[in-house]
Amino acid sequence: MESPASALLEALGYALFLRDETGALRLQGAPPDWLGKLWPSLTKSRDALPLEQASPFLENFLFDAAECWSAGGEKRARSGPWVEPGDGAEVSLEATALTLNQQPALLLEKLGAVFEEKKSMLQKARETVIAYQRLNSETQKKEILLNCIAEEMNTALANAITSLRLIELQKHSPRTQQLLALAMRATEEQQALIRKVLHVFAAELEVLYGRDGGAAADASLGEAIQAAADVVAESFAEKRVELRLTKNESRVAMNVDQLTRVIVSLLENALRHSPNDSEVSLEIEETSEATTVRLLDLGAVLPNEIADNFFARGVAADEDAPPQLSLQFCRMAVENCHGEIGCTPRANGRGNCFWIRLPKVGAQ
């Protein structure tokens, strides 16, 4: 009569092998059905089971198992899932090496519903990642296309302006001169607009890929903050907004130029949301893995629906200022470095907190 333990193993569909003094792995108890179907030769005889001959995967895993058994104690080695062809339908298995009562043991498990659930989740997760990559790629292609269109328009407008200037040199009636001046002004305004668009495109590409095509992702946070503060100093002074900085010497995994540009953009936005004669504080929080930079302003609290989408496409920096990076590109630059970006109301209900969290150098 088989023991309760053997009956339990059989009921759970496990196959337990114990290594004897000759080094052979011997099956304990009755073999589960799936074992007999997969490897009939293993279950026909109770002689030493040549597991390594049954499956090349097991042959490989037995090296890890041997290490585990040598260590003894509570150490375990898991093979991870693998698939055997089976008779008609594939069978997913996992092996665990462990020591039972000081005897090396190998447990083979036919993976069931829990594994299938995990597999289904991985399937969905990977499909999402692939869809995201494709979407990202499409977006970039469209942006390049838009850039090309803007370039074409810029060239066409430059030609139009040259032609208008040549026409201006000829004698015309006052009415024609008036119309020419109007056409010239409208064309120049269009060209200025297109150049601004091209300027923004160039800045966006620079923040994404770096001026040198992707410099080292190792920036001194303190230096980047100081450089950004220098850039915005005049704007802050104009609005009489005090900028309170915190000294920091940590290094984060981002290109220093990109980091500086992102902080400039965030400071400009914090300033935009700040009333005159107020202040913006920059706070830093560190963990062993990441550094969080928070910009706290005293402006009107952004409604949740705006705060949640603050770094989505279409939200741009102050139009009156020189062309700035759009906030969407701040997000892309930060996320490209495996960081996070966000906007939340301040805990005290006064103002907003714009924040970025960046991995420390070596922590990615």
Partner 1 sequence: MIQKKVCMIGASGVGKTSLVAKLVHSIFSEKYLTTVGVKIDKKTVAIDGAEVVLMIWDLAGDDDYQRLQTSYLRGTSGYLLVADGTRAITLDQVLEIQTRVAAAVGDVPFLLALNKADLANEWEIDDARLTSLNERGWKSFRTSAKEGAGVEEAFSELARRMIQPK
Q: Which of 313, 363, 310, 358 is nearest to 337 (CA)?
A: 358
- The residue from 122, 135, 216, 321 that contacts partner 1 (CB under 8 A) is 122
Q: Is 60 in the site for partner 1 (CB under 8 A)?
A: yes
Residue nearer to partner 1 on the CB measure, 80 or 174:
80
CB of 90 to partner 1, least distance (A): 8
Q: Is 127 in the site for partner 1 (CB under 8 A)?
A: yes
- The residue from 103, 137, 163, 287 that contacts partner 1 (CB under 8 A) is 137
- CA pair distance 261, 333, nearest whole angstrom: 10
Residue nearer to partner 1 on the CB measure, 60 or 155:
60
Q: 49 exposed, middle or buried (CB, 10 Å; 0-12, 13-18, 19+)?
A: buried
Q: 268 exposed, middle or buried (CB, 10 Å; 0-12, 13-18, 19+)?
A: buried
Q: Is 81 in the site for partner 1 (CB under 8 A)?
A: yes
Q: Is 134 in the site for partner 1 (CB under 8 A)?
A: yes
Residue type present at position 358: L
> Chain-centre distance of CA 77, in angstroms?
31
Per DSSP, the residues of 82-146 read EEE--SSS-EEEEEEEEEETTEEEEEEEE--HHHHHHHHHHHHHHHHHHHHHHHHHHHHHHHHHH
Q: Is 70 in the site for partner 1 (CB under 8 A)?
A: no
Residue nearer to partner 1 on the CB measure, 3 or 133:
133
Q: Is 80 in the site for partner 1 (CB under 8 A)?
A: yes
Residue nearer to partner 1 on the CB measure, 136 or 176:
136
Residue nearer to partner 1 on the CB measure, 217 or 271:
217
Q: 221 exposed, middle or buried (CB, 10 Å; 0-12, 13-18, 19+)?
A: buried
Q: Is 139 in the site for partner 1 (CB under 8 A)?
A: no
**Is 245 in contact with 352 (CB distance < 8 Å)?**
no
Hey, what are 362's tokens?
Answer: 């070596």
Contacts with partner 1 by CB under 8 A: the residue count is 27
Residue nearer to partner 1 on the CB measure, 127 or 143:
127
- The residue from 3, 8, 56, 142 that contacts partner 1 (CB under 8 A) is 56
Binding region for partner 1 (CB under 8 A) = 55-57, 60-61, 63-64, 80-83, 90, 92, 94, 115, 118-119, 122-123, 125-127, 129-130, 133-134, 137
